[in-house]
Amino acid sequence: MGMELQDNEGIAMEVQDDGEERDFSDAEAFSSVVEALTGVAMAYNMVDQSDRNQYNNLVSIVDPTPGKGPEEEALLVTALKALTGAISKMDVAFHTSLLSNIFSLCIWNYGYETRKAILELIISLAAVPDKFLNSCLHMLVSNFMAPKRIRQYNTHPRLAEKRNIYGELYVALHHIVDLVPLAPMMLKEIIDKKMPRTTDPKEVLVMFVECMLGLESDEIGEFLGSTLLIKVVELLVDLDVNINWEDIPQDELNKGIFDMELDVEENAHDGAGIGIKPETGKILKGNVFADKLDSLMVLVCEHLDSCASDGHLVKVFDTLAECFRRTVMNAYKSKFVQFVMFYACSLDPEICGLKFAVMLTDIFVSNTEDPTSRMSSVSYLASYLSRAKFVPSSLVASILKRLVEWCFQYCQFRNGCESVVYPKAHRVFYSGCQAVMYILCFRMRQLMDIPQLRSLLFHLPLEPILCSSLEPLKVCLPTIVHEFLRQAKAASLFKTSTCFPYDNLLESEFSKAFGGIERLDMFFPFDPYLLKESDRFMRPNFEFWSMVKTTYSNCNSEDEDEDLDALDDNAEHDNLESNSESDDEIEFSLSRMSITPKPAFHYPMAGNLHNGARMPARIRPSMSPED
């Protein structure tokens, strides 16, 4: 096979399949391309018709439409190589159609050789200062995603080459950055513009994010700083906020259960893949977002894994922490994105885990932060320390000490000033107290088992805080207060015989008041994780309430041990819950404290367990408010 340059027909380079083959040299191709380019580089009406034909021929060779045969592709490669050498002859004014064809090329449509030629041309074009750089970067970023035609077929051979194609794109970007040092500045903006939206199809989101994360771990990530990761996290937050909890139960019927909008009934429609009914649109939409978020969470967790194995997790964590502080922490009750932090911490508990806890504590005790951030941070802190298995008891104890000391100082400062409990004015204090109690509900037994920490716990000024005139026990969530007092009593935490006569006075109106309209009083960010695919990253490090050893569980330790052993899978977990029904007290505490998702088969409607794209149908609330 060879290619022939026919001078009488301009640039027409034809592949001859007959025996008369003639390889024509690069120089010949180059000179004919230069001729074609220079022939039209003048005012339109001055261009000779033969020159115009020659140029049009070249434009038609560099045609971006997919489905080229091998001959056409070979011709394209030759033309691209020749163009790479003739960059200086290209002019935006005279060669618009050619340039527009070049920048519309999609590398996913071609084989390795053609891709290489396209990217070489793009690199050369980008190196011409200020002319084509923007278009080149646009073209490369557009190629982060495969075209729809390829995306639709999961088995398309080009998708198998995905990693290679990403690699080629990174190399091209790398070359461009070497030639034009300020290119990353422009690249940042282009990625920002091209970033898919939450409404885009799942494949688009997944491919784009996968490519971005790859770029982040590449050397260019250094130049782009933390932008890429921040963009990804922002996308996750966007998806997260699109999954609604139903409004927190004002509704009597919903008491104890937050229906995720993916209710069982509506899921049945989704699972069957039937057309979307208008009335179920909202529900299906929620489900779709959860599905997208799930896939992206898997990508991000895998990226964190690779960062950990490469040894630059700490650096990535700093970016994540900054991003968490800026967006996630103040996003209204985000549900899943925070687990990125949880997972990052679990990969390096000594450094990242510690940093995260200290950062949250610092925000809480800082006077300059706004109250909502402080309340939110202490909610995160409480939930994190309670739920993260990898956090050592010593760290829990030291953070507890800081929290309690802050609360104690606050009490001393305010004591006696107020005669009437006014939750909203002291909301930061109450959220601190609630956090302390929540952590102790989960960790008291562990702390009690270590003599040093036990003595530390006994020396904490808990009693003066709880008995202060601010009366946190009246204001904090009744379920937490109840459980805390129960465990404290079993552990004889309070030396004096002070009784806390609040059992009958529990009044959640107060708690609602301090939580404000955002109900931060009942926000526990690290409640059990409900996304199916990415759950495998979180589960091993996650402490379920049903697995927590409480201080009062000594009396029936045998049962407890059996139950704990049985917790490994969901079915047995279910047994535990049904067994425990006999014991009123345990049932009470479980129903209130455990936010463990019920297995889907608990509900008759959710019979199809193998429906991979579905989230658990129902979750229990963090806390059920009592009206």
Q: How far is the CB of 34 from another protein (least distance, A)?
A: 10
Among 86, 136, 205, 296, binds another protein (CB under 8 A): 86
Give dist(CA 559, CA 579) in Å, integer: 10
Binding map of another protein across residues 349-368, x = CB under 8 A, - = no contact? -------------------x
> Which of 41, 53, 64, 85 touches another protein (CB under 8 A)?
85
Helix, strand, coil % over all residues of the chain, rounded to 5:
65, 0, 30
Question: Which residue stretch of 37-45, 149-157, 182-190, 286-294 sits at the interface with another protein (rule: CB under 8 A)?
Answer: 182-190
Indicate whether 173 belongs to the interface with another protein (CB under 8 A). no
Residue 179 binds another protein (CB under 8 A): yes
Residue choice 40, 75, 127, 400 for contact with another protein (CB under 8 A): 127
Token pair of 16, please? 């001859």
Q: Please tell me the distance from the alpha carbon of residue 327 to that of residue 322, in angstroms, as a whole number.
A: 9
Taking CA atoms, 446 is separated from 228, 394, 452, 487, 491, in Å, by: 40, 10, 12, 12, 11
For residue 84, CA distances in Å to 81, 89, 124, 165 come to 5, 10, 6, 20
What are the backbone dihedrals phi and psi of residue 334, each rounded to the nearest 5 degrees, phi first? -65, 150
Tokens 């899978």 -> residue: 569
Parallel, antiparallel or unpaired: strands 13-16 and 2-5: antiparallel
Taking CB under 8 A as the criterion, the residue among 1, 42, 92, 185 binding another protein is 185
Comparison of 127 and 475: residue with beta carbon closer to another protein: 127
87 binds another protein per the rule CB under 8 A: yes
Report how far residue 625's alpha carbon sits from residue 507's, in angstroms, rounded to the nearest whole number.
Answer: 9
The residue among 25 and 154 lying less far from another protein, judged by its C-beta, is: 25
Whole-number minimum distance, CB 368 to another protein, in Å? 6
Rounded CA gap, 615 and 260, in Å?
Answer: 9
Q: How far is the CB of 132 from another protein (least distance, A)?
A: 11
Q: Which is nearer to another protein, 181 or 311 (CB)?
A: 181
The one among 6, 16, 50, 88 contacting another protein by CB under 8 A: 88
Nearest alpha-carbon partner for 381 in 428, 421, 430, 439: 439
Comparison of 185 and 605: residue with beta carbon closer to another protein: 185
Asked if residue 181 binds another protein (CB under 8 A), the reply is yes
Question: Which positions from 307 to 326 touch another protein by CB under 8 A, shown as an x/- string?
Answer: --------------------
Angle formed at CA 327 by CA 321 and CA 328, multiple of 5 degrees: 70
Bridge partners of 619?
258
Nearer to another protein, 92 or 276 (CB): 92
Residue 147 in contact with another protein, rule: CB under 8 A: no
**Per-residue x/- marks for another protein, 235-274, CB under 8 A?**
----------------------------------------
- Stretch (H or E) spanning 131: none
Can you give the binding site for another protein, defined by CB under 8 A?
A: 85-88, 124, 127-130, 133, 178-182, 185-186, 368
